[in-house]
Structure 1
Amino acid sequence: MLRNLLKKKKMLKNMSNKRTHMVKKQDTNSYLSTLFPHFLLWRKTYGPVFLYSTGAVDILHVSDPDMVKDIGHRTPSELGKPNYLKRSRKALFGGGILTVNGDEWAYHRKILAPEFFMEKIKGMIQLIEDATVPLLESWEGILDAAGGSSEIVVDDYLRNLSADVIARACFGSTFAKGKEIFCKLRQLQKAISQQDALVGPSAVWKHMPTKANREIAKLVEEVRVLIQAVTKEHSSYKGNDDLLLAIINGGASDERIYKGTAEAEEFIIGNCKNIYFAGHETTALTAIWCLMLLATHPEWQKRARAEALELCQGRMRLDVDILQRPKILTMVIQETLRLYHPASLMMREALMDAKVGGLDIPRGTIIQVARSMLYLDKDVWGLDASEFRPDRFANGVAAACKPAHVYMPFGHGPRTCIGQNLAMTELKVLLARLLSRFAFAPSPRYHHAPVSRLTIEPGFGMPLLVTRL
């Protein structure tokens, strides 16, 4: 079993060396051969369903559409989040909704999900608009000083904007106030992904008193103190009715789940971490990849801009009815999530003995679904699977691929992402405002080399040539 891990590391090291010498232009959207060469080799050798080992856990890899469909039909009590990931990702996610199972997960969802219903999102649109203003003004200032056109590395701008949206909409503050939390969570993300690359996500070395582990522990404590300060200050305000208050109240309102102060604190800090990180990182990355794809496909940028100008014409504020109109922008977002989904792997653990896709799955088995393998499968999407073609979604997901259930940008089965309404709304507002003011083109300095740092992101940043319209 250990040889699986050694072979995987050798293949990834070889591809990492090749990635540093990749050409500057974007030749293909398929990054499977550089990020997941072991999956490609093992699928070719053993088929779409195979078992491999990390040295500590055995993982059943699934890229068979029929079996994926069956996984989506399993209840949360049958298939849940893997316990080993809960331990290895505890520093980043704590005991929030992304890691818990059973009655605890049901309680978390009961508290958090209503805060992301469309009725709530309607009231957040102006907050999203307000968060875009500093970015728009900053880019306009850069371009004015440069004569109307300049290269801009867009990554940090879009991460800051998305963080600001989460801070304003969910925590009643601005990005400036929560900046330290976002920065430290980003440091945690990088530290944990580097550690995974060295020893694997479930290795015992992750719990030894190494320099890297001490640094992670230090960041965890600093984030905890910062979140405690935010929640303490927030709970003292009267008239608050937002996600943070729901989290604070939820940590103390059900003694069947949380019987002490420590458990209640873990609920609050864990879910704040989940929203701070997952709520902004995944949306920011989707926006980054959206702009890259539009920059490299000017015909689609032109079509998307025409729609954006129609949406924004003379409007100081967009509303939920207006944001239901854009078809091109929606297709662009859907296609971006297919080609560059932030979370490439979906992991589940059999919480009891189960039968999935005709296979008997013993309790404790880890099931891994590689979205990227499904999303770039030519048998599912056609021979142009690796091409940017938003019009494949013109008639909905059912017409875009066969079978339709393999497209699951916001999760699969009962554990779908509660924040999908906010994410789609934010992306539509952002793209509409950007495209109506700026034109984008590829920078000669851009190296197309996606990397996996728990999420799929540009390996060398995203410099784009931006021109003010």
Structure 2
Amino acid sequence: MKEMIVAVMMIFSVAFGVGFWVLFLRLFDALVLKPRRLRSKLAKEGIKGSVPSSILYGNIAEIKSIIKLRLGYSAVREEMIFHDWLPTVFPHLVIWRMLYGSTFLYSTGNIQLLCTTDPAMVKQVSLCTSFNLGKPSYLSTERGPLLGRGILSSNGSCWAHQRKIIAPLFYVDRVKRMVNLMVESTSTMLRTWEKKTESLEGKLEITIDEDMRSLSANIISRACFGSSYAQGKKIFTKLQALLQIMSKGNIGVPGLRYLPTKHNKEIWKLEREIDSMILEIVKNRGADNHKNDLLQLMLDAAEIYGDDSNIPTDISLNKIVVDNCKNIYFAGHETTAISASWCLMTLAAYPEWQARVRKEVLDICGDNVLTADMLGHMKVLTMVIQETLRLYPPVAYVVREALQDIHFNGINIPNDIQIGGISIPNDFNLGVTIPKGINIQVPIPIMHQHEDLWGSDVHQFRPDRFANGVSGACKIPQAYMPFGDGPRICAGQHFAMEELKVILALVVSKFSFSLSSAYQHSPVFKLVIQPEHGVGIILEKL
């Protein structure tokens, strides 16, 4: 009996030892060898970058120290509004771009990032339709509580299936039918502003950010939930809290998201609450009461395509609906509200453009109720929105992961390349092969202020650069990407543009406004690019 016990213990010990070493070797490969292999492959292509200072954290510590140093020594600006804010918000990208060229490597945790501002490469990434280039896996893992496996984070046939469900919800004709509810919601907010100005002798100083968030929540809730607006507003409140908590965490650090830290516990709690609230709305819907809202249309489409074999077996119909509701809320609420705040800031800072927009709106609308057809004729207003989104895009990056090795032609790599162990100048435009596992990162603000593409006045607010559309404003139209790019461009971009037009058109028709003397121009990146101290304006009723 003792011999049997000893034998079993020996077998267990051997198995444990083998398992331990297998796990150790896998971890060593994932944390050390794989990142080195990827970086080595790109080094042979002539691409250099900042060497990670930590196996677990990559360049995160370096990034934080650069940002802290830059913030501590940033020069005081004489002008109240300045648009070349990139060196303050993204100083690490600006510095590395100067050191290593337009395409360089760095890492956040275990995520290897190939950052590029090379116009030729950005254009090819934008035009690429291959499933070999997809959304990075960390969106459905690290950002999973916010995005899940919805349309913003899924890939391949799973993404194509969800696109088939979601995209028709935001077709132009369908969005036009939602303009009335946008007008109603905005008019309700403006009546509140009017009452406040009347009690304050016609003038009101206000910080508009929370009002814009409430308004955007109102609009997207009504569009999504119809009469279930109260539940929708609760979800937005939870999502806003989740966004703020997740913006404080480090992305890409292996295993960190699994630890029961206070930070993670807050995220898990909010995720459970949000998912539960969405499912509750889905279960309690009456088929006759919500025929035209987005959620019902999504449910109908999901049921029609529910047996699609392209969907992985671990994704249920409920999961598709819940995750895409969160995707629509995030994209249709937070980013739109921030964009509205930035647009009102620029109109307040440039009264000549505010006057031009107001004249256009009044000439087209007169005393009539604003309609979708009227919005289509507002060219000056459209240019102002486009220019504001150029200078202040709410989303900071377009990121694509190479799901297989992928080649780009004619890329301007300033370093030498290695062929057969021999270093030769990269003057032949051989292009570059991106190995599987690399994340290609395009910093949108840098592309939007790329002097070679936009001209020497790139840091100036000049909406008339869009007089002939994006193609007339930028040498490479694909470099303008406030709604993303290529096949993965935001499905709700028409909805967002119509909402911004409605908000701005109605505000300028009721009020003149200027920036508050207390306004501090300080863009900051917290998952989205937003005004750090809010946008304070002084309203005067017309």
Instruction: Quickly name the TM-score band, shorter chain normalised.
Output: over 0.9
Q: RMSD between aligned alpha carbons?
A: 1.9
Q: Equivalents in 2 of 1:444, 1:145: separation in Å?
A: 21
Deviates more, 1:240-249 or 1:329-338: 240-249
Spell out structure 1 runs of 4+ moving beyond 6 A: none
Task: Give the superposition deviation at 1:285.
Answer: 1.1
Counterpart Cα distance in 1 of 2:210 and 2:349: 20
Distance 1:457 1:388, change over 3 A: same
Alignment check: 8 A CA contact 1:349 1:367 kept: yes
Q: Residues 447 and 175 (structure 1 numbering): CA distance in 2 closer, same or farther, change over 3 Å?
A: farther
Trace 1:373-384 onto structure 2 (pairs within 5 A). 373-384=446-457
Output one character per residue of 1:335-356: Cα deviation in whole Å (capped at 9) or x when no partner: 0110000001110001111102
Give me the identity figure in percent: 43
The aligned residue for residue 348 of structure 1 is 400
Alpha-carbon distance in structure 2 between the residues aligned to 1:254 and 1:32: 44
1:14 aligned to 51, 56, 69, which one?
Answer: 69
Distance 1:44 1:258 in 2: 44
The Cα shift of 1:242 comes to: 2.9
SS in 2 for 1:151: strand
Distance 1:50 1:259, change over 3 A: closer
**Cα deviation 1:161-180 (Å, max 9, x = unaligned):** 11111111222136444211
1:466 to 1:176, Cα distance in 2 relative to 1, 3 A: farther
**Contact 2:390 2:448 survives alignment (8 Å):** yes
5 Å matches for 1:419-434? 419-434=492-507
Counterparts in 2 of 1:224 and 1:239: CA distance versus 1, 3 Å: closer
Q: Structure 2 vs 1, CA of residues 112 and 235 (structure 1 numbering), >3 Å: closer, same or farther?
A: farther
Deviates more, 1:162-171 or 1:36-45: 162-171
Structure 2: runs of 5 or more not aligned: 1-50, 54-58, 410-430
Whole-Å separation in 2 of the counterparts to 1:200 and 1:35:
18
Deviations 1:5-36 (A, max 9, x none): 322110112234457x9669634112211111
Matched, 1:369 2:420: no
Counterparts in 2 of 1:324 and 1:65: CA distance versus 1, 3 Å = same
Structure-2 separation of matches of 1:16 and 1:89: 27
Point out the structure with max Rg over C-alpha: 2
Q: What CA deviation, in whole Å up to 9, does each residue of 1:230-278 have, x standing for no partner?
A: 1122254456133212322344442224576962221011000011111
Does the alignment pair 1:30 with 2:84? yes
Deviations 1:208-243 (CA, angstroms, capped at 9, x unpaired): 110010011001011111111111222544561332
Q: What CA distance in whole angstroms lies between the structure 1 residues aligned with 2:540 and 2:165?
A: 44
Alignment of 1:386-465 (within 5 A): 386-465=459-538
**Structure 1 residues 76 and 266: CA distance shift in structure 2, 3 A:** farther
Match of 2:328 among 263, 271, 275: 275
Partner of 1:216: 267
How far did residue 157 of structure 1 move? 0.7
Question: Does residue 1:2 correspond to 2:55, yes or no?
Answer: no
TM-score, normalisation: structure 1:
0.94
Q: Distance in 2 between matches of 1:102 and 1:261?
A: 15
Contact preservation (8 Å) 1:311, 1:432: no
Matched, 1:337 2:389: yes
Q: In structure 1, what is the Cα distance between the partners aligned to 2:90 and 2:538?
A: 30
- Measured in 1, the distance between the counterparts of 2:274 and 2:497 equals 28
Question: 1:76, 1:415 within 8 Å by CA — same for their partners in 2?
Answer: no
Q: Write the distance in 2 (CA, Å) between the matches of 1:109 and 1:462.
A: 35
Deviations 1:343-401 (A, max 9, x none): 01110001111102421111111000011111111121112111110011112212212
Shift, 1:326, TM fit: 0.6
What residue in structure 2 maps to residue 293 of structure 1? Answer: 346
**SS of the counterpart of 1:71?**
helix
| Conserved 8 A contact 2:161-2:311 | no
Which is worse superposed, 394-403 or 58-67?
A: 394-403
Query: In the alignment, which residue of structure 1 is the partner of 2:160?
Result: 106
- Structure 2 distance, partners of 1:192, 1:380, is 34
* Matched letter for residue 275 of structure 1: I
Q: Distance in 1 between matches of 2:286 and 2:313?
A: 19
CA contact (8 A) 2:157 2:311 kept: no
Equivalent pairs counted in the alignment come to: 464
Q: What amino acid is aligned across from residue 67 of structure 2 in structure 1?
A: L
| 1:29-108 mapped onto 2 (5 Å cutoff) | 29-108=83-162
Could you tell me whether the CA contact under 8 Å between 2:109 and 2:252 is conserved in 1? Answer: no
Q: Does 1:148 align with 2:202?
A: yes
TM-score (norm 2): 0.82
Q: Does the 8 Å contact 2:231/2:277 carry over to 1?
A: no
In the TM superposition, residue 407 of structure 1 has moved relative to its aligned partner by: 1.1
